[in-house]
A and B are shown apart, each in its own frame.
Chain A
Amino acid sequence: MAHIPDGILSAPVLIGGAAVALGGVTLGLRSLSDRAIPRAAILSAAFFTASLISVPVGPSSVHLLLSGLMGIMLGIAIFPAVGVALILQALLFGFGGLTTLGVNTVNIALPGFILAMAIGPIIRSSHSSAMRAGLSALIGALSVLGTGGLVALSLALSAPEYTPVASVLLATYLPLALAEAFVTAAVVGFLSRVQPDALSLATGAAAS
């Protein structure tokens, strides 16, 4: 539900979104050394694949965003990774849009990046697995709700008539936030047991 198609948003919102996305993508690319690009690409391919899994929540099912986890593993490079994934999604499945590429990138990447910046370091240094699980669940849930809030904001800023829909929209993000919280906690738990250095930023030149 995070992909706004073409033809809905107003020009100022589209341009604003594109400008922020451009900044994020530029900084993200700059953070990747030449040698780190293949690694970042393979990671974004993995996240793209993971988001195709449909996870049941009650009677319906959701597709995970995993932006919190991406933020932890990619840092600011989450912006180009999400942008590339969105282009690919538009090409392969026809989801999303061209003019909304910037807005959609920001809506998904920004919450994940900010939350991972704020909470990620605590997760990496924590020695208690319960604490790690709780914090990763928090990152997962809040990044989804942040995306929901930004999508609602993009709609409300575009036209006042969208506002009622925007508030209903937020409620539909609750089940996804729930699933995302549990799955993110499980992934972080798995990685910290199996390969803890996977949780550190994968953008540096030589990690191993």
Chain B
Amino acid sequence: MGTVSPMRPSLLPEDLRIRLIVVFLAVCIFSQLQSLETAFFAFIGSLILGATERIERSLWRRLMHVEGFVLLIFITMPFLIPGPSLFSIGPLQASLEGVARAALIGCKVSASVLLLMVFLGPIEPIRLGAALYALKLPESLVRLFVMTVRYVSVIRMEATRLHKAMRARAFQPGTNRHTYTSYGNLIGMLLVRSLDRAHRVENAMLCRGYNGRYPYAELSAPKPMDWFSGSILMALALGILLMDKIPF
């Protein structure tokens, strides 16, 4: 990690509301592209954006986490779509059509993952609540989200403690009944303690006059710069959509 000044120039809108809207629309567009050229363009564009934003190295590693079945689609696609043969492995004929389809899917998936990483990777989840609320999501859903985020870190610590206690008693995970029962007890204990904690939290909240209202940080209006960069990025995504719809 290099030294990153806090005020480094960024192409991304700093305002979370604009950022969320832009990334949502852009991913909607990217995920439905039809032609290989535009999907490739989208992929390169996201790659450049990722490079200019100087993303932390740990985030890049996410690109490697492709789900198994995506890989499977990618591998089988060339052999399943009929068309002029490009190459063959044993009795299997890979068609040009099929390779193009696999490449299209590969570009769309990686472009979308890249966008998510660049736009949402650096956001702390706990900060998202106010933005989601400002975007008029149901208040109870936002409250559920914010509190889940808050308690995931607490309960993860609890789980780590329980896990350590198991290891201290020479617990060795393996494929056997004992392992599954032990993990079952661990999860059961986690749930019991969570319910206890919920009871305490609820009482503490009631003490402070909780009546279903939950305060959210007031967000300041987006800066002109945010509107500007948001519209540029949106225009780029729309440009890709136009390119996709109008054959050239």
B residues with CB within 8 A of A: 23-24, 27-28, 30-32, 59, 62, 65-70, 72-73, 76-77, 80-81, 101, 105, 108-109, 111-113, 116-117, 120-121, 123, 125, 128, 138, 140-141, 143-152, 154-156, 158-159, 163, 173-175, 177, 179-192, 194-195, 197-199, 201-202, 205-206, 210-212
Contacts and interface: CB of A to CB of B under 8 A. Distances in A.
Given A182-B180, A183-B183, A187-B188, A53 B145 contact: no
Contacts of A191: 188, 191-192
Contacts of A40: 144
A150 interface: no
Nearest to A186: B184
Contacts of A208: 199
A61 B192 CA distance: 26
Contacts of B59: 94
Interface of A: 1, 3-9, 11, 14, 25-26, 29, 32, 34-35, 37-46, 48-50, 52-53, 55-58, 64, 66, 73, 80-81, 83-85, 87-88, 90-95, 97-99, 151, 155, 161-162, 164-165, 168-169, 172, 179, 182-187, 189-191, 194-195, 198, 202, 208
Contact of A42 (B23, B27, B31, B197): B197
Contact of A7 (B30, B76, B77, B180): B30
Nearest to A41: B147
Contacts, number: 246
Nearest to A90: B116
B184 A185 contact: yes
Contact of B155 (A45, A57, A151, A182): A45
B175 A57 contact: yes
A161 B101 contact: yes
B140 to A, nearest CB: 5
B202 A186 contact: no
Given A5-B112, A6-B108, A80-B141, 18 more contacts: A3-B67, A11-B32, A43-B194, A45-B194, A50-B187, A53-B163, A64-B187, A81-B148, A84-B148, A94-B62, A97-B31, A164-B80, A165-B69, A165-B73, A186-B183, A187-B184, A191-B192, A198-B195
A161 B80 contact: yes
B202 A6 contact: no
Contacts of B185: 186-187, 190
Contacts of A32: 140, 144
Contact of B108 (A7, A165, A182): A7
Contacts of B150: 41, 45
